[in-house]
Amino acid sequence: MADVHRTTSGKEMHKLFNNMTASMGSDWEETLLDGVRRVSEPLAVRMLQQIGLGERTTTPFHLFDNACGPGVVVSEIQKLVEPEVLQQSSILCGDFADKLISLVGKRIDKEGWLNTKACQVDSQSTGIPDKTFTHVTVNIGFHVIPDSEAALNETLRILMPEGTLAFTTWHEDGVGWVKDLQSAFASFPFEAPFAFNIQTTNWGHWSDVNWIQKTLVEKGLEDVKVDVFSHLSRVDSAEHFVSSFSMMVDWNMNTYWSEELKKAHGREEVMELVKDFLEEKYDGRGWHLTWTSIVASDPSQRLPPNQLQALFTAIHSIDQRLNRIEAALQINSYSNNNTHRHIPTNAAHVQQVQVTPIPPPPIPNNAQHQQHAQQLQQQQHAQHPQQQRQAGVQAQLGNPAVANNGPALGMGGSVPMSAPVPVPVPVPVPVPAMNFRPLEAPPQGYSISSRAMMQEELDQWTIPRGYSMRIAGAKVTGKRKVRWVCFRGGEARHHRAPVDDSVILQARAEGRRKPTTDRASKKCGCRFKFELIETSKGSDTWMLHYPNEEHKVHNHGPSDQTSDPRARKLPPYVSDDVDQWLRNGWLVSKIQEELKARGFTNVLNTDLYNRKRLLKKEHGQLR
């Protein structure tokens, strides 16, 4: 029965894609592109990051964007890859829907996409020669192709032996519009069937990460990487929701409603009921939808041999320079602490050396979390020299405890000396390992819908990942720019000293709050930051940009959300309910149970007591 529903659902979906004017209206192109910008672009950016196709790409490529839709993936490639590389590359966009191919053709001409063509292609039988492309991408496609196994086999056939496959599909809990539409249908004054098949193909389990991993390996792929990616999209209003997802309403009605029910309750009535329900649910305001997708690739893009050799050469050179600098620092430290003794070395010459930061070597962008991990290690190395390098310096300085153990661990490099230092060198304190997983940063090009919603939309990304951002400056003339930094950036400040016990006892006796005592600062000098730049003057649409690579990485792990007041902040409609419960005399424990049942788990008892105290102060005695 499930297969029958999937087949019917898939047929209805294909009908809608071939006739989007009927579902989305005459301005369907603008509506579709607006939805793509909010929903699909972040997926495409993440997929391209995972395979290393972007700003650092220097090798020409031949890419086929299968099931291309309105050209989401290729649009991002045109933004990210340098024009010099694109001029030597080729890109083919293919889709079964002629209207979508027509739209991509318009974008190619209007936006000036380099070396890009579009044509109608059947994913299950492309007719393209074997081993044609270095890259094949499929963004949110495999799970709705009727014969998805044939489409996957066809994709592997046209891919070169050392080529790269990358695709995204929806996770089983990740389609943002479903819950709102489901609850809207349930509110109708008549029985309105609603069902959602995330997959319309009968083969496989495209919303299951384990099945995808297993299947790709069974198909002969080796360097398979499967990851899960979540992001948010902004819905401006109930009317905006209905306009954006009207195709999904039509899809459900055409698949699961009887002809009698559709005649009794037409499309316009259903759309109006959905709109009224959502306006009431969200108090006439906008809201966010959560999208969770699966990103799979094979293999991760590797550096060409010449670039790999250049990387190793650069690392070796940097290693030698670090050895010399560390040796100089050791001599300086020792000579400054022992000025009463004469040491026959060239330390006086070494003290004049200017120590400057050494830029990190280029890192293969084969996966975002690996890049973050390597950058974190570089930061740690720059701030705290590794013990093995210190051992090498000590051996060079004549420390017998180290010199007898063979050559130093450094890769060459030494400081000229006239004689060994006849005294032991202090051993540095070991630096604790950074064993946390790097925090996920918003992708370059992440969009924000308006200046007024900037903080809220950023919070929706950052807070679930264990950090938050604050404004550190803005440029308000011309094309506006807002600079954001990590809330743990900056140096820790000295807080109040502990309060004397007698003061605390007196405060308690008078029924006052305990005075604020010393508390640990959360600031740790984190350099993570980015800029939100207006896309054009006065547009109030913003795109995220990183000043440079070192600002893409945090130097700390995820924070407990209960320690961040912004993570504990409730939406206005929930906050109003809490105020009413407090006025009605509810216990804090009962309020916590209700909040947890609604999914709000970060609120502290202290927050509720503080709110209760404020209401009592403003409005008199509570119950």
State yes or no: cis peptide before 299, omega within 30 of 0. yes
Do the beta carbons of residue 595 and residue 582 sit within 8 Å?
no
In this prediction, residue 499 carries a pLDDT of 64
Q: Residue 597 domain-assigned?
A: yes
188 and 314 inside one domain = no
What distance in Å separates the CA atoms of residue 505 and residue 327, rounded to the nearest whole number? 56
- Specify the range with the lowest mean pLDDT, choosing from 227-236, 386-395, 539-548: 386-395
CA–CA distance from 368 to each of 50, 59, 443 (Å)? 6, 20, 10
- Specify the range with the lowest mean pLDDT, choosing from 12-21, 111-120, 292-301, 310-319: 12-21
Q: Which residues contact 27 (CB under 8 A, 6 or more apart)?
A: none
Confidence label for 327 from pLDDT (cuts 50, 70 and 90): low
pLDDT in tens, 410-419: 333 333 333 3
In this prediction, residue 494 carries a pLDDT of 57
Q: Per-residue pLDDT for 367 more than 70?
A: no
pLDDT, mean of residues 192-199: 79
Structure token pair of residue 71: 């050209």
In this prediction, residue 96 carries a pLDDT of 87
More confident residue, 528 or 310: 528
Q: Per-residue pLDDT for 621 more than 60?
A: no
In this prediction, residue 92 carries a pLDDT of 95
Q: Residue 63 domain-assigned?
A: yes
In this prediction, residue 412 carries a pLDDT of 34
What distance in Å separates the CA atoms of residue 262 and residue 259, rounded to the nearest whole number? 5
Within 158-266, residue ranges assigned H as helices are 178-186, 209-218, 238-244, 246-256, 259-264
Q: Per-residue pLDDT for 73 more than 90?
A: yes
Domain finish residue from 358, 378, 403: 403
**pLDDT mean across residues, the chain:** 74
Structure token pair of residue 430: 């070991």
What distance in Å separates the CA atoms of residue 584 and residue 577, rounded to the nearest whole number? 10
What distance in Å separates the CA atoms of residue 320 and residue 298, rounded to the nearest whole number? 36
Q: Per-residue pLDDT for 118 more than 90?
A: yes
pLDDT in tens, 434-493: 344 467 888 877 778 778 778 888 887 888 788 888 888 887 777 788 999 998 888 766
Q: Residue 461 domain-assigned?
A: no
Range picked from 43-57, 79-93, 341-355, 373-387 for highest mean pLDDT: 79-93
Q: Residue 519 domain-assigned?
A: no
Q: Residue 139 domain-assigned?
A: yes
CB atoms within 10 A of CB 477: 7
pTM value?
0.48
117 and 188 inside one domain = yes
Q: Per-residue pLDDT for 176 more than 70?
A: yes
C-alpha 143 chain-centroid distance = 23
Helix (H, G, I), strand (E, B) or coil at 455: helix
125 and 270 inside one domain = yes
pLDDT in tens, 592-606: 988 888 878 888 888
What distance in Å separates the CA atoms of residue 524 and residue 76, rounded to the nearest whole number? 35
12 and 96 inside one domain = yes
Q: Residue 396 domain-assigned?
A: yes
Q: Residue 178 domain-assigned?
A: yes
The percent of residues in the chain predicted with pLDDT above 90, rounded, is: 20
Number of residues that this document lists for the chain: 623
Q: Is the dihedral of CA 504, 506, 511, 516 positive or negative?
A: negative
What's the CATH number where 24 sits? 3.40.50.150
369 and 249 inside one domain = no
268 and 318 inside one domain = no
280 and 321 inside one domain = no
Do the beta carbons of residue 63 and residue 92 sit within 8 Å?
yes
229 and 274 inside one domain = yes
The total domain count for the chain is 3
Confidence label for 20 from pLDDT (cuts 50, 70 and 90): low
Domain range for 332 is 305-403
Domain finish residue from 370, 403, 436: 403
CB atoms within 10 A of CB 363: 17
Q: Which residues contact 414 (CB under 8 A, 6 or more apart)?
A: 323, 324, 327, 396
284 and 316 inside one domain = no
CB atoms within 10 A of CB 304: 11
Q: Residue 618 domain-assigned?
A: yes
In this prediction, residue 125 carries a pLDDT of 92
Domain finish residue from 298, 323, 339: 298
259 and 387 inside one domain = no
Q: Per-residue pLDDT for 238 more than 60?
A: yes
In this prediction, residue 229 carries a pLDDT of 84
Range picked from 47-51, 87-91, 309-313 for highest mean pLDDT: 87-91
17 and 163 inside one domain = yes
More confident residue, 259 or 498: 259
Q: Per-residue pLDDT for 91 more than 50?
A: yes
Confidence label for 168 from pLDDT (cuts 50, 70 and 90): very high
18 and 166 inside one domain = yes
What is the DSSP annotation of 39-93? IIHHHHHHHHHHTT-STT--S--EEEEET-TTTHHHHHHHHHS-HHHHTT-EEEE
Confidence label for 376 from pLDDT (cuts 50, 70 and 90): very low
Q: Could you report how far apart the first and last alpha carbons of the chain are, in Å?
A: 56
In this prediction, residue 115 carries a pLDDT of 94
Confidence label for 361 from pLDDT (cuts 50, 70 and 90): very low
pLDDT, mean of residues 390-408: 36
